[in-house]
Amino acid sequence: MIVPFHVSEMLRRVRQKFTSPADADRIAPRAGGYAPLRPVKSASPASIAAFWDRIGRPGAQARLADPETVADAPLYARSIENLIGTVKVPVGLAGPLRINGVNASGDFLVPLATTEAALVASYSRGAVAASRAGGVSTAVLYEGVLRSPAFVFEGLLQAGMFVDWAVQNAEALKAAAEATTRHGRLVSLEPVIDTNIVFLLCRYTTGDAAGQNMVTIATEALCRHVAAHCPVNPARWYVEGNFSGDKKASALGTMTGRGRKVSASVTLPAEVVRDVLHTTPDEMLAYGRVANLGALLSGQHGAQAHYANGLAALYIATGQDAACVAESAVGFTRMEPRGDGLFCSVTMPNILVGSVGGGTALPSQRAALDVLGLAGPGNGAALAEVAAALCLCGEISIVAAMAAGHFTRAHQSLARGRRA
């Protein structure tokens, strides 16, 4: 018989907290006495102090609202409401990582912001192996950030008539969307009909920005053009119908991409695998076969070990939208024998990064992009290639650690052991 230990443990905890009928009052609704925060977009030393007067924890105030943060309050307020301070996350360097890319070329020191000990060491080890093998080859294969507005009609006939109108008026829709942006371009419109509802997949290029807000504003203008000019008027429309895969791992994103699709690859000679990774190509391939089976049986989108670790650390360090890791951390890792060496590659269809816009202008995040040499206009595609190359290094390192039986030991010595 299978004993559900987690269920019995939870019941035990509940019984400890609820020993009499009166204890149920703690989870009953409570009316009154609630004072909501009013969203404040602007910020100043006075507004920050007012929030801390309400919080009433001076020790926390000293750590979150340090003098430098308070002085730069208007700059931080561009990215957040109700500003009370900033949080410091440790930043470490991985690399140097040699990249021979279409857009990124050189030896990159990669800043990673994380609270997970052993992460930077692991990615650095993979970077050493890849760089000693001559570097990682990278290329952006295509790009396009999706928005999927939804239009609701009376029935299937009206939905079909709308699609026909949209096809005939594609240039007018493109003009309406692009009138809102200097850098965004609407490159495709793809209708999907489900009875009386039409999802219109709008794919944009966004220059050097990740472009989430850019495509939302452009799509809003497109939808308003539809409402004003389409003879088959929708009963309702929504600027996003939850079809695009925005901040979600999806089959659509895995197949067609959302953001920049990047491939990165390197062939590791057997001596590099032995000297740097302390294992062999055959052992890494043996583990890879088991890992791919696990990915298949568990229904993963793609097949990879842990893109999210490196992406989250890079995104936080460089001012990207960290929630986009949910969709960016999808893709396929391949390892194949090449002579006596090991060919390793990643293909990632949803890398959403930018060298401008969003949090990239904040002081620390701009400094991290400066460390990479990729701050400002002209560097968005190169940053995407760095992200893919970094993820490849992480895959190489973790697969080697698993194959050699070193994974647990590394975390004990670099994480738990260091804390002790």
Catalytic option among 248, 278, 306, 411: 411
Residue 282 carries which side chain, given as an amino acid letter? D
Q: Is 411 one of the catalytic residues?
A: yes
How does DSSP assign 244-257, residue by residue?
Answer: S-TTS--HHHHHH-
Catalytic option among 143, 208, 246, 321: 321
Cross-strand bridge partners of residue 113:
91
Distance CA 286, CA 264 (A): 22
How does DSSP assign 16-85, residue by residue?
Answer: HH--SGGGGGGGS---S---PPPP--S--HHHHHHHHHHH--HHHHHHHS-HHHHHTHHHHTTS-SS---
In angstroms, the Cα distances linking 246 to 22, 216, 327 are: 45, 11, 7
- State the Cα angle at 140 between 136 and 142, rounded to 5°: 155
For residue 216, what are its two tokens?
A: 């939302």
Q: Is 321 one of the catalytic residues?
A: yes
DSSP secondary-structure letter at 340?
A: T
How does DSSP assign 126-137, residue by residue?
Answer: HHHHHHHTT-EE
- Residues 283/286/288/294 CA torsion (nearest 10 deg): -140
Q: Is 247 one of the catalytic residues?
A: yes
Q: Is 190 one of the catalytic residues?
A: no
Catalytic option among 72, 183, 220, 247: 247
Catalytic option among 116, 178, 220, 282: 116
Q: CB-based burial of residue 136 (10 Å sphere; 0-12 exposed, 13-18 middle, 19+ buried)?
A: buried
Which residues have a catalytic role annotated? 116, 247, 321, 411
